[in-house]
Structure 1
C-alpha cells in the first residue's frame, strides 16, 4: 500500500489548514446547489464518453453496463449509488470489502476505468438527485462500512456531512491496498475526511476539485 506522505501535489493536511476558511452557511448552501447544476452539465458533456465506453464494454462483456449498490449517506441514510461496472457479473458478493486492481474479478476495461476513476462518473446522477455532492467522504460498501465502524473509533462521524464524488483520501492514497493494510489505509483516509468535515468551505472544495483534475490528468499521461 502506497501512501503519499506529502499528499498529492504537495498539500499535506497541515498546509490545508491555510486553505480552509469559514464560509457563511447560506453561501455554502448556494455553493452546493451550484454543484448540482455543474454535475448536470458535466453529465451531459460526458454522454459521448459514456457511449464510447459502452461500445468497448459490449465488445468485451455481455453483462450490464451500469452497477448500483446500496451505500450509507448523510446521517446514515441509505441510497443507491451508480457506477460503471468494472467487475465480472456475480463477483460483487465475493468482494464485499473491496477489490484490488489486479484481481481477476476486474475486467481489462475495468482496470483502465478504475485507474482513471471514470467508473465513478455516473455518480454525477447521485449528485443531481441530492444523494451526494462533489467533495465529501466517499460512500463505501456496507460490509466495509461495518468492518471499519467496528475497528476505527468515531468512524460514523463521516456521515455528519454529504458523501462526495472525490475527497482528500481518494486522490492522496492509492486504491486497493493489500488486505492486511486495509485498516492502516483507512486510518489515513479517515484522517483526511475528518479534516475536511471540520474545515468545509468553498475554497477547500475548489482545491479538492483542482487536485482531482490534476490527479486524473497525471494518470492519463502516465498510461
Structure 2
C-alpha cells in the first residue's frame, strides 16, 4: 500500500519561534519509554481478539491489504513508516496526499466504523514498541502537510522535539480532523508545542484518561 520505495528527502526547516525542548527529567529520559513499552505490550495482548476480528472484517470487505503504511516524520524529523488498518479503497502518499472528508467515497463501510472509533490507529502500537512513536505525543502528519506548513509556520518544527504519539493534548482538545487552513493547523501546533515543552507523567496520565471519552464522542473523526 506504500507509494513505492522512494528516497525520502528532508523537508526545509525554518528556525522555530518557540523552542519546544522537554526538560531532562527521569521520566523523560527513562520513565516515558518504559511506560510506552509496558502499555503497548499489554494492549497488544488484551486487544488481540479485537485486532484479529478487525483484520478479518477488512479482508472480507474487499481486495487490498489489511494494513496501510505511510511515511511520516518523527523525533528529530526522522522519517518512519506509520501503521494503520486500511480504511480506504485506495492509498495515497507524498504529493498525492488528500485528506479524508465527510462522506469520502474512498472510505469503505468497515473503514467508516474504524475511523469513527479511531480503531484504525491500533496498529500504531507496533510503532510504539519499535520506538518510532510514543503512546502520548503530537500526532504525526503526512509528509505533504509537513512540507506545506513548515514554510508558513516557523513554530511547526517544535513538534519534532518529542516522539509522535497515538494520542495527544491537541486531540483531547478536539483539534483533530481536517487541517486545511493555517488557522486550524496553528491551533493544533500550539497544543503540540505546549505538550512538548512540559512532558510529565502527570500530564500523560491525564491525556490517557481523557482519550477514551474524546474518541467515542468526537465528531471530527470520519
- Bigger helix share: 1
C-alpha separation in 2, matches of 1:178 and 1:102:
17
TM-score, normalising length: structure 1: 0.80
Aligned residues of 2:82 and 2:124 also touching (Cα < 8 A): yes
C-alpha separation in 1, matches of 2:178 and 2:141:
15
Match of 1:49, SS? helix
Aligned residues of 2:58 and 2:86 also touching (Cα < 8 A): no
After superposition, what is the alpha-carbon deviation per residue over 1:12-42, rounded to whole angstroms, capped at 9, x for unaligned?
xxxxxxxxxx987123322321221210110
Does 1:25 find its partner at 2:25?
A: yes
Within 5 A, what are the aligned runs for 1:162-177? 162-173=163-174, 175-177=176-178
C-alpha separation in 1, matches of 2:216 and 2:99:
25
C-alpha separation in 2, matches of 1:177 and 1:158:
18
Give the ranges of 4+ consecutive aligned residues of structure 1 lying more than 3 Å apart after TM superposition: 90-95, 174-179, 217-220
After superposition, what is the alpha-carbon deviation per residue over 1:135-190, rounded to whole angstroms, capped at 9, x for unaligned?
111111111111111222221111011111101222323543374xx322111111
Aligned residues: 197
Match of 1:150, SS? coil
Gaps of 5+ in 1: 1-21
C-alpha separation in 2, matches of 1:186 and 1:178:
5
CA RMSD across the alignment:
2.3
Within 5 A, what are the aligned runs for 1:1-223? 25-28=25-28, 29-92=30-93, 96-173=97-174, 175-177=176-178, 179=180, 182-218=181-217
C-alpha separation in 2, matches of 1:161 and 1:177:
23
TM-score, normalising length: structure 2: 0.80
Aligned residues of 2:94 and 2:143 also touching (Cα < 8 A): no
Gaps of 5+ in 2: 1-21
- Name the CA shift for 1:53/1:172 in 2 (closer, same or farther; >3 Å): same
- Name the CA shift for 1:178/1:157 in 2 (closer, same or farther; >3 Å): closer
